[in-house]
Amino acid sequence: MSEILNVQGLSAGYGPLRVIHDLDLIVSSGERVGLVGLNGHGKTTLFYGIAGLTGWQRGSILFNGNQIGRTRSQGPGRYTHHIVRQGLAIMPQGDEIFHGLTVEEHLDSGAFTKQAWKTRKQRKEQVLDLFEPLKQLLKTPVARLSGGERRMVSIGRGLMTDAKLYLADEPSLGLAPKIGKGVMEALLKIELSNSAMIIAEQNVALLEGKVDRVIGMHAGKLKGEASSALSMHLK
């Protein structure tokens, strides 16, 4: 079990706003971690902090042994593509999609890193096996899809790379319970041999018994870790 992500003393925010306070987190390979917390308590900011998309940040982030956290006085997103190329896949919350691209082009754009681009055909098939309904929609612009289908596209896009760390931000948000469950199941089906996954979620019930451990997040800090069996009491 090697460490994939080691966050030490991370603070991050936007402008004068400090969202994450001195946060420590270690994720090892093969682990599937649930991150539970209410809206506005910093789940998304933690993910964006790891990806270098926050306005500023302080602290150390070791990803695969490489330091990717640094004091960013420059604008957000400056180094994000370098971090993504090191093997980070982000499945963002909300509508972070390209409205005019078709589903197929979307999946291609997920395999944008050089290594993944060469094998994108096989990857596409794997993703389509996971999300059956997308098969008929390959040539449709994403703007015309329903919410659930869009979420499948954005998660599928994240799965197109050979990532070491998958960050799934509220995959079931805003979806009908049944579809949300389907999306979650697809995420849980992904094999993590030497990679890891963090799933942020407000609904503990969806994660119960399915992830290796559950971490609560409150006011920019991690509160209490619990193994999966204990997560029932967290509710």
Partner 1 sequence: MDIGFILINATIVACIYGLIAVAVSITWSSLGLLNLSYGFIFSFAGYGAYLAARMLSDHPIVVLTAGILVGALGGIIICMLVFIPLHDKPNFTIRGMIGTLAISLIGSQCLLWYFGPKNKALPEVFGYWKVSIGNTVLTSDKIGIIVCSILMLVFVVLWMKSSRRGLEIRAMMMNPHAASIVGIGIRKTGFYVMAITGGMAGLSAVLLSQTYYIAPFSGLTPLIKGVSIALCGGLGSVQGAVIAAIILGITEALTSRLLGGQYVLITQFLVIITILIIRPRGIAGLLDKAREQ
Site residues for partner 1 per CB under 8 A: 51, 53, 74-75, 77-78, 80-82, 84-85, 90, 92, 96-101, 105, 108-110, 112-113, 117, 157, 161
Question: Smallest distance, Å, CB 223 to partner 1?
Answer: 27
Instruction: Please state the closest distance from residue 221 (CB atom) to partner 1, in A.
Output: 25
Tell me the sheet residues that pair with 61: 7
Rounded to whole angstroms, the Cα distance separating 4 from 27 reads: 6
Cβ 83 to partner 1, closest distance in Å?
A: 8
Question: Min. distance of Cβ 28 from partner 1 in angstroms?
Answer: 24
DSSP track, 40-56: TSSHHHHHHHHHT-SSE
Using the minimum distance from each CB to partner 1, give the nearer residue, 161 or 231.
Answer: 161
Nearer to partner 1 (CB atom), residue 2 or residue 74: 74
- Identify whether the C-beta of residue 58 lies closer than 8 Å to the C-beta of residue 71: yes
Q: Which is nearer to partner 1, 117 or 132 (CB)?
A: 117
Tell me whether residue 113 is exposed, middle or buried, using C-beta atoms within 10 angstroms of its C-beta: 0 to 12, 13 to 18, 19 or more. middle
Q: Which is nearer to partner 1, 58 or 85 (CB)?
A: 85
Instruction: Decide: 169 and 47 in contact? Cβ < 8 Å.
Output: yes
